[in-house]
Chains A and B, each alone.
Chain A
Amino acid sequence: MVSIGAAVKEPGSTRQNKTGSWRTFKPILDKETCIKCENCIMFCPEGCINKDYDIDYDYCKGCGICAEECPVKAIKMERE
């Protein structure tokens, strides 16, 4: 069954698709080292780092931008 005109009435429904399965490398964030600069939150293409600096691994594609942009190297990319 397709909705009329294929309109989607459930906003944010891409959340059903767990893109975490895409990644090869996984970012590990050390909250002790973290200075809460918000760079990783700003720059994550998935928006999957929350304000408490928890990374949502259901969606993280392992692009590595967060690790690259962390000014204190609090994020390390580890092979999964």
Chain B
Amino acid sequence: MEISEKEFLAPGHRACAGCGATIGVRLALKVLGENTVAVSATGCLEVITTPYPETAWEIPWMHVAFENAAAVASGVEAALKSQGKTDTTVVVFGGDGGTADIGLQALSGAMERGHNLIYICYDNEAYMNTGIQRSGATPFGASTTTSPHGKESFGEDRPKKNMPMIMAAHGVPYVATASISYPEDFMKKVKKAAEVEGPAYIHLQQPCTTGWGYNPAKTIELGRLAVETGSWILYEIEEGEFKVTYRPIQRKLVNEYLNAQKRFKHLTDQEKEMIQSHVDAICIELKI
């Protein structure tokens, strides 16, 4: 697979030291190359990369609002098509908030209409740009500022919204989950997404040092633990065919993943066991 040596996201941006989102974008753009237009939803990525009068983007880029990235991208895709630029790739970067919550309608519409674009959700599992509030993608048990643990609460009490499956139900020809800690797997998926005629959706888990509470050097390690414990599963759905793309040789216990992050520190052993059994149920079914 040919990947560009060029960096399409310039340094100097305002990301936290150890940010996972910028790693994901860099890798994706290395695959997509310079004949690409990116659209961002409001969020960490957008704010850190475009403080006027600077921009980190080396490709054309547009941002309008929080909930409409997919709608804006639909317009961009249609405009490029009308200009005969059908070989220009349109990629949308939305955070978990801007995708699973406020952006869900626009995304659903764009996917249903079948626009030729790639939607990459960079999922750090909360509204990080505004300071770590809970989103529909926040996992069960996580402490965020709007789902804090306290005397009466153990934190987030709802399971993570299953965005990839929602996308698959739309009949999106290529849906995949990915992790920045498994770059070859991610980049292969970006390539497949680019080659698909029509929409493609990649849900990229991206550890967040500030929001999850760990030493920034461990960003990649955290992503690895998520996958190795079965807390995050790497799979793809091509034309409705489901396939796990990575199976850990020996699945680790979730505690190793949970204990490494401040946002889960408050959980009791019983609560952690609950999480372990949820993970077990899914992994056993998928033979992970």
Binding site for B on A (CB under 8 A): 2-3, 6, 8, 10-19, 22-23, 42-48, 51, 56, 58-59, 61-65, 67-69, 77
Contacts and interface: CB of A to CB of B under 8 A. Distances in A.
Nearest to B62: A7
B55 interface: yes
A59 B220 CA distance: 20
A8 B55 contact: yes
Nearest to A48: B11
Contact of B52 (A6, A48, A62, A67): A6
Contacts of A2: 52-53
A45 B17 contact: yes
Contacts of B57: 11-12
B229 interface: no
Given A2-B52, A62-B17, A47 B217 contact: no
A8 B54 contact: yes
Contacts of A16: 12, 54
A58 B215 CA distance: 22
A68 B221 contact: yes
B218 interface: yes
A65 B58 contact: no
Nearest to B21: A45
Contacts of B10: 11-15, 47
Interface of B: 5, 7, 9-15, 17-20, 22-23, 26-27, 49-59, 180, 183, 209, 215-221
Contacts of A43: 23, 180, 183, 219-220
A25 B220 CA distance: 18
A9 B215 CA distance: 36
Contact of B26 (A47, A58, A69): A47
Contact of B15 (A6, A11, A13, A45): A45
B20 A45 contact: yes
A36 B56 CA distance: 27
Nearest to B49: A14
A61 to B, nearest CB: 4
A13 B54 contact: yes
B23 A3 contact: no
Nearest to A12: B10
A62 B7 CA distance: 19
- 3 tightest Cβ-Cβ pairs between the two chains A and B: A64-B217, A14-B12, A12-B10
Given A43-B23, A61-B17, A17 B220 contact: no
A8 B50 contact: yes
B58 A12 contact: yes
Given A14-B54, A46-B15, 6 more contacts: A8-B53, A16-B54, A17-B54, A18-B12, A45-B20, A59-B11
A11 B56 CA distance: 7
Contact of B11 (A3, A11, A46, A77): A46
26 contacts: A6-B52, A8-B52, A11-B10, A11-B55, A12-B56, A14-B11, A14-B14, A16-B12, A17-B13, A17-B14, A19-B12, A19-B13, A22-B17, A45-B22, A45-B26, A46-B12, A47-B10, A51-B5, A59-B11, A61-B18, A63-B217, A64-B215, A65-B217, A65-B219, A68-B217, A69-B221
